[in-house]
Amino acid sequence: MLNFFRRKKTEPPAPKRIRDHKLGPGILDASALKVIEVLNTNGFQAYLVGGCVRDALCGVKPKDFDVATDAPLEAVTKLFRRSRIVGRRFPIVHVRFGRDLIEVSTFRQSISDKVVHDDRGMILRDNAFGTLHEDAFRRDFTVNALYYDPSNKEIIDFVGGVDDIKAKNIRFIGDTKTRLAEDPVRILRAIRFSAKLGFTISEDILSSVKNTAKRLEAIPPARLFDEFLKLFLNGYAETVWRQLRETPLANALFPSCDPMSPLALAAMRNTDDRIFNGASITPGFLVAVLLWDDFKARNDVRHSDDDDPAFAALKSQQSSIAIPRRFGTFARDVWTIQERLHKRNVRSLDRLVTHKRFRAGYDFLCLQAESDESVRACADWWTDFQNANDSEREALIAQLPKTPRKRNRGRNRRKAAAQNSASTGTG
């Protein structure tokens, strides 16, 4: 492929070297510092880079630590026993220290025949290695192109990232249209960083949202599932969804979902609350919420028992975001348990309460009740039932409408035939 979007290679200015940065102790991750120490000892440059530096400057404790170095990937794997090269588009090295995983990347350049683009400018493969200067200018956002040198405790800033952090501004390095053409997922990253840090996205990025949303169709659905996890399972899902639903991006990710659905917003808020309180979360629950309307519509028009609306809804979604089977199964269980929660069959109440997805199904019902008055009485009944003692449960069950017992027509026909045979003396 031709390198369609070539930028002019210019001599980069000398970086700012900042020592008065007030980075907290959160940046001093023992495993990451050990990686840098080993690389330095063997004659290589190595720095902390990207999100860990950005977050530490913003007062947010970093979760992941990345190291950038001039060491070739193969040299890195020889220095660390528990390491391996991963990735096809952007090969890096994973180095393990106990449970810690440190990502080590070799400095790259963006202007090279080894950077392969498609005919619209999207990067298909990047094996062009370069210098520290070149590595800084090929990164996406200014706030992500900061390097921290622990040996002299200074930040190296080529692109004004520290100033943008102070101004709380998200902007690209270089031309916005080119950077989004190289990787449309960067629009989702901009929204994620904005929600996480409370930063403002620059107008030139926002003006490119519509065109970029369409281009997300070219991104592998499995990669978009990884972005889905980062967007919605890190404690700021409600803020992210409020931004996405005002753009075509929400439907680019979930084509069958109504972005303005009160249920979707309530689920995002509930997910954030659970993360804040240390409760368990699963992507399957959000999948159940975001595909609920599609499942219901398909279920309402099913023509036979052979139709499987849950399978159809999940299959339709796979072309946008690939949902792993275990999370699809979780969503299916949440959907199918809703009918049982509404019917409240007296003879199967005990079995239903012990169902492995009962709690998730009940939580789903309660979220619906927040915006749907017709569901509220049922949700309240189940809340009372779970908190009730035995006598109180009997009273709640007595409130339920009596369901007529189904007759066993086959058995009745056989009984009538036997009686008729006896009366006529045949058989």
Q: Pairing relation of β-strands 200-201 and 169-170? A: parallel
CB-based contact 360:306 (threshold 8 Å): no
Identify which of 154, 136, 143 has the alpha carbon closest to the alpha carbon of residue 23.
Answer: 154
Residue 211 lies in a domain: no
Question: Which pLDDT tens digit goes with each residue over 156-187?
Answer: 999 999 999 999 999 999 999 999 999 999 99
CATH code of the domain containing 70: 3.30.460.10
Residue 321 lies in a domain: yes
In which domain, by residue range, is 355 found?
287-398
Residue 145 lies in a domain: yes
Identify which of 172, 234, 179 has the alpha carbon closest to the alpha carbon of residue 201.
Answer: 172
What residue type is assigned to position 177 of the chain?
K
The verdict on 27 and 157 lying in the same domain is yes
The verdict on 168 and 312 lying in the same domain is no
The verdict on 21 and 150 lying in the same domain is yes
CATH code of the domain containing 304: 1.10.3090.10
The verdict on 23 and 171 lying in the same domain is yes
Catalytic residues: 64, 66, 140
Tell the residue number behind the tokens 């009997």, with chain if given. Answer: 394
Rounded average pLDDT per 10-residue block, the chain, 427 residues: 44 79 79 95 96 92 93 95 88 90 90 61 69 92 96 94 96 94 95 96 95 93 96 97 96 96 97 96 97 94 79 96 96 96 91 94 96 94 93 92 63 58 48
The verdict on 23 and 156 lying in the same domain is yes
Q: Considering its fold, how many domains does the chain have in total?
A: 2
Residue 253 lies in a domain: no
Residue 293 lies in a domain: yes
Question: Which pLDDT tens digit goes with each residue over 340-373?
Answer: 999 999 988 989 999 999 999 999 999 999 999 9
Instruction: Please indicate, yes or no, whether the overall pTM of this predicted structure exceeds 0.95.
Output: no
Residue 204 lies in a domain: no
Residue 220 lies in a domain: no
* DSSP labels, 340-374: HHHH--GGGHHHHHTSTTHHHHHHHHHHHHTT-HH
Residue 310 lies in a domain: yes
The verdict on 304 and 166 lying in the same domain is no
